[in-house]
Each structure stands twice: as structure tokens, then as C-alpha cells.
Amino acid sequence: MAAINRDDVAHLARLAHIEMSAEELDRMAGELAVIVDSVKSVSEAAGDDVPATSHPIPLTNVFREDVVGHTFTAEQALSGAPDAYEGRFKVPAILDEG
Amino acid sequence: MTDATLSFEEAMEKYDPVLGFEVHVELNTKTKMFSSAPNVFGDEPNTNVNEVDLGMPGVLPVVNRTAIESSIKIGLALNCKIAETCRFARKNYFYPDTPKNFQTSQYDEPIAYDGYLDVELSDGTIFRVEIERAHMEEDAGKLTHMGGATGRIQGADYSLVDYNRSGVPLVEIVTKPIEGAGSRAPELAKAYVAAVREIVKNLGVSDAKMERGNVRCDANVSLRPHGRERFGIRSETKNVNSLRAVEHAVRYEIQRHAAVLDSGEPIVQETRHWHEDTRTTTSGRPKSDADDYRYFPEPDLVPIVASREWVEELRATLPEPPAARRKRLQADWGYSDLEFRDVVNAGVMDEIEETIAAGATATVARKWWMGEIVGRAKNADVDPGQLGVAPATIVELNRMVEDGKINNKMATEVLDGVLAGEGTPAEIVAKRGLAVVSDDGPLLEAIDAALAAQPGVADKIRAGKLQAVGAIVGGVMKATRGQADAGRVKELILQRLGVEG
């Protein structure tokens, strides 16, 4: 598994529109490196004879009936948005055309 | 900048096209794929959403049972195998159309695979299209690009996002490479998408309205020199959203590829955007097979197991397939192949079926729909079924003609009155005073006048030249402004002249 360095974290933060200070980037790169290392040790423990597991409990077919439930108002939906316009989320220009 | 193209004929002389389609079908479930928010088109932006659709931290998706059943039905109707077990995966990407930064989709375990669809071309040729897979996923939000050229992402200042469509259940149907279509490739493209649309509509699992994006097509095109087995490099034209556009886009891409290959340049493997206004494509982002979406199994959802009992239960609910239905209807109605194909191509098969159910004969129903309504619909630029002619209206008009109350010419006038909203046929006949003149008195007067006006013709008829009677009938019809029953007029003329009819 590839290591995660400070540049990777800065790249992801930019994609996700999360503002991070230099100290935060240092700290997060360190923390994520520990997590990746931990996952790596799991990969080492599981041999080729262990099938890939996506869920810890062998459940199947957890369904919901097709019945309408609750919704947000547009105001509620937009309450956490950095910017909005006429009931819609407003996002910066998508293409980098500089 | 416009791309060079060869003529379609020249492109076909030099190259052999290979096609591939990805058709996205929006299911018409009441709620979304993973949330209980309503799946409704056209509502106020961001009102058909809840925390799951907005990808709030800590929320859990739950699969819609009806969406799974609809997907299995689509798989069965496309002659696919249904996976005993399958899973959802996360397709990771950063783009504002998904607030989660991933789309929940199926990756290496589609619910349906290895099928085929027999597509009928306009001359009746059957072309088999192999289906690679049909997998489930969720739709993304709708972006509106503001500033710059209208609606285009290029040059936009900012974009607005409505997440009402986010999480709407989709089934993506992917074909295997389609070889051997030759110069019929554009027609096959249109016929294939039309056939998929017809199937999902017939199953009742999608509203199947292309203008609303319920059925959307991405068309892959590549060319290779005749006789070469290896495929050329393909382009993928995105979101071609009408049947006509599918045909045009495939045709255009064939012509464009041919010009690139002729110039000795390689084709760039890329996404192309279709422009309906110019009927051309422009380059989108280059696509590499190494697009890294970092797929992994969705940890918040458990596998779907489709037991064979469940699949068979669903199979038992499938309606008659469209192709079989067409065959049955043609036999029932006694139409020739050509007559029936014209009816299908004019888009009035359902309407004729309803008209026959309302009491008309197959011949009468076809006469009215093909002879009168299709042309009027074309002039009004709407589908014939949308023109506003109820089957009962046709039955009533026809009964009036058969009873001799009005003649055919009047009947078309009454039809125009119905379309203008003047009322029922009976009301219009009364209002416009259109009843056929059936009192023999005025008719005899008109006949005598016509005979006197054309004595030579009268002599011919007396001498046994019965076909000459038409000229006198014509004179009478003119004199009565078309309000006479031509059959009755002919009888009376012959009576008057003492000739056996």
C-alpha cells in the first residue's frame, strides 16, 4: 500500500475544499501514515486463502420498502453551504482555464 | 474550430465501424436508490433531498427493494443472466455533481450480465446486439453553468447545483462491441436505443422520457480498415439524448474518424460532447483507461443475493415483450408488413390498438390514424397520440359516416372541429349544419339540373355507359356543397334515367 505524504494530503484538501494550515497538513500526514501502516499490517496477516471482506457481518439483502420518507426544505439543505443562489448550491468554476 | 469530415459514403468505402453503447435508464421508483427522499422530476431545487442524498457525515444508505426488482426485470428482458450475489462499490471522484465525492455504483459485480437484444431495423432486418452487463448505480445532481456561453461549462464563471436527481436509481446497460453493422450503423444506433427505451417503458420500470433524461445514451464509435480484426481507437460521445441525436452523432463520429484516419493521424481516445444545434461533437477531456476511480466495495451496504425463486417470481410478472406484441397485433389486425411498419414508424400502434378496443375495425382505425391524424400531428409538430384525438371520437365519426349521417369529407371537417375544441362530433355536426342531405326532393332537383346542364352525358348513360354517371354525381355534389350522400345520388340518377345500376 502506497504511503501518504504531505503533498497527497494537501492535494486531497484542495479537492475537498478544506482549508488546512501548514501545521494541520503536517499533523494530518503523520496521522494518515499511521492509519495506512495499520491497514498494511492487516494485509500482511490475511493470506491468499482469506477472501477480501467488505463487511464484518455476513448479512445480505438489507432492504427498504419504496415508501417516501422525510425530506429537507431547500433552506435546510443549503444551511451548511458556503454559497448559494436561488435555492441551489453555488460552486466555483469547475474547469481550470487559466 | 470545426473538425474535418469525410462524406459518409466515402467513410464507408474505406472503413468498417464498430459501435458500443452505454444506456442509462432512470427507474421510476417512488423513492431514491439509497434514501427515502422522493424520486420526482421537476420539483423546486434541493427539496427532494435528505441527509443521505447530501452525503452528510455518518449517514447510512439503505437499498430500495423495488429498485432491485426493477433492475432484475430489466436484466431478464435483455435476456441476461442474473447474478446470484452482487455488491455495490464506491467510485471515487471529486466533482460538484456528487456531494459525497463518490458515486455508489456496481463495479466488478453487476446484477445482470451476458444478454442480448434483437433489434429490428426499419426494413424488418433483425440485428442482434450482445449485452455485456446491466448494473445498478445512482444518478448525480444537476449542474447549471452560469456566465460564459449559454449553458456550457467552458468559460462559465460559476455553477449551480440541484441535488434532487442525486440518488435517483439508474440501471446502466452496456453492450459488447457491435460489429458488422456497416453503413447501417447510424440506423442501428437509433433502433437499439429505441428498443431499450421501449423495453423499459413496457416493463413499467421507467417513465422512459428521453427529453427528461430518463433514458440517456453514451455512444462509442471506432473505425478499422475493412478486413482488419483489431478494433480502432474509440471516442465516446456523451449524453446523446434523443433518438434522432443518437443516429446523427454516430454518423458524424464515423465521418470525423474517417477524416482523421485519412490524414494519417491517430484517433485520440476521448470523450466527445454532442451539440444538437450544429449536429457536431467537440472534444471533452481525454479519457484514458487508467482513469483512477479507486473503486472499492461499499462498506455501508451488504451484498444483494438474488435467489433463483425470487428471479423466477419476477420473470413470471414480465409483460409480453414488445417484439412479440408487435407480431401478435399485426396478425390480429391483418395488416401487410409494409402497412404495419408504417404504423410503427408513425408511432401510432398503441393508438390504433386503443381505437380498435373502443369499437373500430382495424381498417377504420388505420384509415383515420394514418390518413388523417398523423399528417395533422406532423403539421402541429407533436406526437400523433398527443394531438388530442380520443379513440371514442374516431369510433363516433366512423359510425356517423356508416349511418349515412355525414360523408367522409364532412367527417374530416368534424375532426378539425373536435381538435379546435368545438365539442363532440355530434355537437359539431349540429352546430355547423353538416348533415348529409338525405331528403330526395332537393337532391332530385339538383340531379335534374345537372342532367339538363350536361345532356350529352345523360345520353351516354342512357346508352349504357354507366361510368359516365360520375360527371353528373360531381355536378350534384357541387350544387349541394358536398352535403349529399354520393351513393344515394348515383342511385337516384340511374333511377331518373331508367337505367339498371
- Integer Cα distance of B439 and B215 in angstroms: 59
Chain A contact present for B60, CB below 8 A: no
> How does pLDDT run across B92-137, given as a tens digit for each residue?
988 899 999 899 999 999 999 999 999 999 888 999 999 999 999 9
Q: Which residues of B touch A52 (CB under 8 A)?
A: 297
Chain A to chain B Cβ contacts (< 8 Å):
136
pLDDT at position B171 is 98
Inspect the interface and report whether the beta carbons of B87 and A78 lie closer than 8 Å.
Answer: no
> Across the interface, do A91 and B156 touch by the CB < 8 Å criterion?
no
Q: Which residues of A touch B302 (CB under 8 A)?
A: 55, 57, 59-62
Query: What type of residue sits at position B270?
Result: E
Residues of chain B with Cβ-Cβ distance to A70 below 8 Å are 36-37, 50
Q: Which cell goes with B393?
A: 371520437
Write a three-state SS string for B331-391: HHHCCCHHHHHHHHHHCCHHHHHHHHHCCCCHHHHHHHHHHHHHHHHHHHCCCHHHCCCCH
From the list B49, B63, B94, which residue is nearest A77 (CB)? Answer: B49
How does pLDDT run across B337-357, given as a tens digit for each residue? 999 989 988 889 999 999 999
Q: How does pLDDT run along chain B (501 residues), one tens digit per residue?
A: 578 999 999 999 999 999 999 999 999 999 999 999 999 999 999 999 999 999 999 999 999 999 999 999 999 999 999 999 999 999 998 889 999 989 999 999 999 999 999 999 988 899 999 999 999 999 999 999 888 766 777 778 899 999 999 999 999 999 999 999 999 999 999 999 999 999 999 999 999 998 899 999 999 999 999 999 999 999 999 988 888 899 999 999 999 999 999 999 999 999 999 988 889 999 887 655 446 888 999 999 999 999 999 999 999 999 999 989 999 999 999 999 999 989 988 889 999 999 999 999 999 999 999 999 999 988 887 788 888 889 999 999 999 888 878 888 888 889 999 998 888 898 888 888 777 766 677 788 888 888 888 888 888 888 888 888 888 888 888 888 888 888 888 888 888 887 775
pLDDT at A52 over 80: no
pLDDT at B124: 83
Residues found in chain B: 501
Q: Is the dihedral of CA A23, A24, A26, A31 positive or negative?
A: positive
| CB within 8 Å: B94 and A89 | no
The bridge status of strand A63-64 relative to strand B63-64 is parallel
Q: What string of DSSP letters covers B160-226? A: EEE-TTTT-EEEEEEEPPB-S-GGGHHHHHHHHHHHHHHHHHHHTS----GGGTSEEEEEEEEEEET
Point out the residue among B51, B66, B156 whose CB comes nearest to the CB of A93: B156
Which residues in chain A have Cβ-Cβ distances shorter than 8 Å to B157? 93
C-alpha distances in angstroms, B289 versus B130, B237, B431?
A: 22, 16, 70
Q: Does the distance separating the beta carbons of A93 and B46 come in below 8 Å?
A: no
Residue B287: per-residue pLDDT: 55
| Residue B497 and residue B464 in contact, taking contact as beta carbons nearer than 8 Å | no
Which among B47, B64, B158 has CB closest to A93? B158
**CA B358, CA B355: separation in Å to the nearest integer?**
5
Stretch A48-56: mean pLDDT, rounded? 77
Q: Do B161 and A55 touch (CB under 8 A)?
A: no
Of the partner residues A54, A68, A88, the one whose CB lies closest to the CB of residue B87: A54
Q: B284 at the A interface (CB within 8 A)? A: no
Give the relative orientation of helices B486-497 and B455-462 as an angle to the nearest 10 degrees.
80
A28's grid cell: 494530518
Chain A neighbors of B66, CB-CB under 8 A: 65-66
| Cβ atoms < 10 Å from Cβ of B407 | 20
Query: What's this model's pTM, rounded to 2 decimal places?
Result: 0.79
The answer to whether the beta carbons of residues B248 and B221 sit under 8 Å apart is no
| Fold category of A1-44 in CATH | Histone, subunit A (1.10.20)
Considering only CB atoms, which chain B residues are within 8 Å of A86? Answer: 45, 160
Contacts of A88 in chain B (CB under 8 A): 45-46, 144, 160-162
Judged by DSSP in three states, B305 sits in: strand
Which of B160, B171, B29, B60 lies closest to B112 in space, CA to CA?
A: B171
Q: Do A61 and B143 touch (CB under 8 A)?
A: no
Question: Which pLDDT value is given to residue B286?
Answer: 64
* Among candidate residues B57, B70, B58, the one with its CA nearest the CA of residue B31: B70
Q: What are phi and psi of B234, to 5 degrees?
A: -105, 160
Amino acid B204: pLDDT = 96
Cβ contact B45–A61 (<8 Å): no
- What pLDDT was estimated at residue B501? 59
CA distance A85 to chain B (A): 7
